[in-house]
Amino acid sequence: MTISIDGKMHRTFLYIKFGQDFPRKYSNRKLYISGVGDVLVYITDVGVPQWTEKMTVKIKIWYYITQIYREEPKKNKLTLVK
């Protein structure tokens, strides 16, 4: 049983460059997710790899976020009013 921080299963495409390890089903991996930051994820399923034109492989993964290491600072959209 995996403990998810937000209780949701996420999915994304992961781009693997030459020489990097492929993600494995039922394993942990550190990732950078835009809008969240550096996180530890538990991968529950891995899709079929597809070659891209930049010598990388695109793989769809399904995962749970189990830990956040460093959050991205939230952009403040407030402006000074005189």
Please report the pLDDT score of residue 34 as a whole number: 82
Please report the pLDDT score of residue 7 as a whole number: 81
d(CA 17, CA 10): 22
Written as tens digits, the pLDDT of the chain (82 aa) is: 557 787 889 999 999 998 889 999 999 999 898 888 888 999 999 999 999 888 899 999 999 988 888 877 776 665 656 6
CB-CB neighbours of 81 under 10 Å: 4
Please report the pLDDT score of residue 46 as a whole number: 95
3: Cα within 13 Å, side-chain hemisphere: 2
